[in-house]
Structure 1
Amino acid sequence: MCTALTLSTKDGYNLFGRNMDLAYSFNQAVTLVPRNYEYRDRVTGEMRKNKYAILGMASVIDDYPAFADAFNEKGLGCAGLNFPGYFYAEENKVPEKKNIAPYDLMPWILSNFSTVDEVLNEIKNIELVAVPINEKTPIPTLHWIVADTNGKSIVIEKTKEGLKTYDNPIGVLTNSPTFDWHLTNLNEYMKTTPIQPENVKWVEKELKPLGVAMGTKGLPGGLSGVDRFVRIAYLKSKFQVAEDLLSGVSQFLHMLNNVAMPRGAVISEGSDDITLYSSCMCQQKGIYFYSTYNNNGVSAVDMNKEDLDAKEIKRFDYIDTLTVKYQN
């Protein structure tokens, strides 16, 4: 499942992150890939080097950093979200295209580009090909949100109709169906408001709100991708811009919590989908903040405190145990 979000603060910081909704752990940890790290392209067999250092949540499979969400040293961020029923990858390489496996799209973007405009200039030359990382790992069915430090955001989707990019004026993403459908669906909720309605009179009966938040009546409350898209878009549209970075991170995580999945609320194929973690990246400062299902405190890794020219991938402990601060 999953929900992605972008925000900005009054003091000029851009925030980017997501909820990871999944029924199982994928050996995830905050992972730093240094500049010039070499790994083998599974489609072409060639060795590749990344131009920029990358920090994000990933598993490492056969020395390959499989990122779920990440950003690079220039502040360009990317997240892959489940896109079931719509995602399509070519079975064979396409001539005259740069052929990339779906799991490699995010590292390719973050390794090479610093802005959304740079991505748009090159994305038209690529094709997604159904090549797995290894025999044990299925090909992910994803679409992607990309955002930069200028506040620009796009969505990338590959369906049977081809590879498409969409300008993302709302700065959010969830799951299926296609992004253009989600944008059109928002028109159904244009009267939703945080403002309490005034009393009205029907014949001789005065009607008044039964409580607060009556202006949000009709706002979807479910946990489907469609409902979460509407809800997170509404929350962002009414967002009171945070004064500074830390208040922005707090607001960001509160908004993601509004569309999070507690255990037992969603059961898929006999297993509980939960929000494994929520991430929030400060794109200008290079800090990756996150909280987990079992630890709603905030942990953080600062990219700029690390050697970005190191030779090996560095992984940081995944802090998933609740710490309680006793006051007596």
Structure 2
Amino acid sequence: MCTNILLKSKNGDAVISARTMDFGGDFITKLHKIPRSEKYYDILFNNETEFTKFKKEFEITEWENAYGYLSTHAYFKVEKWEFEIPTCMDGMNEKGLSGATLWMPCADYPKPNITKKNILSIHLVAYILATCATVNDVVDKLEGVNVINFSTSLNKFIPQHFVFSDSKGKSLIVEFKGGKMITHQPTNGVLTNYPFYDKQLINLKKYDDLTFENKEYTYCENDSSKCSQDTNGSGMSGKIEHNGLPGDATPKSRFVRASKFSEVNFEATNSQDAVTHIQQLIQTLQVPVGTIVPNKNNCGNKNENKNKWDMKNGYDHTKWCVIREHNSFGKINYYYYTNDNPTLQKISLDKIDWEKDSNPIDFEANNKTWYAETNFSS
């Protein structure tokens, strides 16, 4: 699952993006501050033994960070090891470049290549944020990179595709098909999941007639039988009823909704305008808990496995969202909120000392104060 979207204000004062993290499994999410001049793997692994096991499994390239960045990491357990592998799901660096990982079931990665830098797909976002400042930099950097998947010996396959956006509002989508890397440069940073991006664009053409402008109607004050006042929002209903804006949670439908919403007349006079605007849009793309239930015939043993699923951790739903101000009135900010805590948490990248390391922020640690209480005084 997952949805990403980007907006640029008409006056050019704000470039802002947002994404959902939709998933059905239970995993830990932590926010790391990754400083400059550090080696990524030195930061993410707890000890040399863990890293030695990891590096032995993969012929991977190490790198030193040219830029500091915030990294939203998920941690996945690998059965053959006693520790969890960190996976960079989202992040933004000090230059306003963001990177996002989204699920892509049909991703087919290249094989390891000793003539290029082999980067694990789960660490591509981290590598790009550490070494690039703009989307143009990303394009150049990817020419010398070979993105590979987990070794089959780990019995793990995390199919992904990626979207990167910079402070100028440029975006780059990176996908892997037939063992080759394919890139696209959209104007709106919209990405969901299956199918591949080019197929999403073909499907999107079906909705070209949708508009924000209401359809013309006739208002009949004295004769309700002649009234055709199907007004507010009717521009998105399409020429024919079944061709309106789709509202289900499938990747195709979310792609259409996000793409159409990205066409909104976006104006912002301050940071709050920008953040609240895109927050409203991303909330329409979230997947509420309980609205997706696996088909009983796809649960293996119908009687046993279905009972092991619990509503909150087993079924796909939005676990958290992030909002990124790449360049909003001269500021670079990163916001997030979780399914358990809708209170918006803000991190100002301009105020961070990128030369120093720090302890990670646990998303769940912010779930205590999830509302603001208002009292009436006598």
- TM-score, normalised via structure 2 length: 0.78
Is residue 2:266 matched to residue 1:240? yes
Q: Which amino acid aligns with 2:367?
A: D
Q: Return the offset for 1:47.
A: 4.2
Q: Return the offset for 1:157.
A: 0.3
292, 315, 322: which one pairs with 1:279?
A: 322
> Structure 1 residues 73 and 17 mapped into 2: Cα distance closer, same or farther (>3 Å)?
same
- In the alignment, which residue of structure 1 is the partner of 2:229? 209
Q: Which has the larger radius of gyration?
A: 2
104, 108, 121: which one pairs with 1:83?
A: 104
| Distance across 1 between alignment mates of 2:84 and 2:163 | 25
45, 61, 66: which one pairs with 1:51?
A: 66
| Distance across 1 between alignment mates of 2:277 and 2:18 | 12
SS at match of 2:195: coil
| Distance across 2 between alignment mates of 1:133 and 1:47 | 21
- In the alignment, which residue of structure 1 is the partner of 2:125? 106
315, 324, 328: which one pairs with 2:360?
A: 315
> Structure 1 residues 239 and 211 mapped into 2: Cα distance closer, same or farther (>3 Å)?
same
- In the alignment, which residue of structure 1 is the partner of 2:176? 158
Q: Which amino acid aligns with 2:176?
A: K
Q: Return the offset for 1:266.
A: 1.1
| Distance across 1 between alignment mates of 2:211 and 2:62 | 53
| Distance across 1 between alignment mates of 2:259 and 2:252 | 11
Q: Return the offset for 1:6.
A: 1.1
Alpha carbons 2:217, 2:230 under 8 Å: kept? no
Mapping 1:124-203, distance limit 5 Å: 124-131=143-150, 135=154, 138-160=156-178, 162-199=180-217
CA RMSD, aligned part only? 2.5
Q: Return the offset for 1:246.
A: 1.3
Is residue 2:9 matched to residue 1:3? no
Q: Which amino acid aligns with 1:89?
A: Y
Alpha carbons 1:6, 1:16 under 8 Å: kept? yes
Percentage of pairs with the same residue: 24
Is residue 2:372 matched to residue 1:324? yes
Alpha carbons 2:13, 2:268 under 8 Å: kept? no
Q: Return the offset for 1:184.
A: 2.0
Greater strand content: 1
Alpha carbons 1:103, 1:139 under 8 Å: kept? no
Q: Return the offset for 1:13.
A: 2.6
| Distance across 1 between alignment mates of 2:97 and 2:152 | 24
82, 105, 116: which one pairs with 1:97?
A: 116
Q: Return the offset for 1:38.
A: 1.7
Give per-residue Cα distances to partners, 1:243-279, cap 9 Å, x unaligned.
2211111111110110111111012455221111110
Q: Which amino acid aligns with 1:323?
A: Y
| Distance across 2 between alignment mates of 1:187 and 1:67 | 33
| Distance across 1 between alignment mates of 2:167 and 2:279 | 19
SS at match of 2:174: strand
| Distance across 2 between alignment mates of 1:34 and 1:134 | 32
SS at match of 2:96: coil
| Distance across 2 between alignment mates of 1:60 and 1:224 | 25
* Number of positions where the alignment pairs a residue of Structure 1 with one of Structure 2: 321
**Structure 2, unpaired ranges of 5+:** 42-53, 77-82, 219-224, 238-243, 300-308
Greater helix content: 2
Q: Which amino acid aligns with 2:255?
A: F
Is residue 2:38 matched to residue 1:37? yes
SS at match of 1:286: strand
Q: Return the offset for 1:58.
A: 1.3
- In the alignment, which residue of structure 2 is the partner of 1:230? 256
- In the alignment, which residue of structure 1 is the partner of 2:289? 263
Q: Return the offset for 1:145.
A: 0.4
- TM-score, normalised via structure 1 length: 0.89
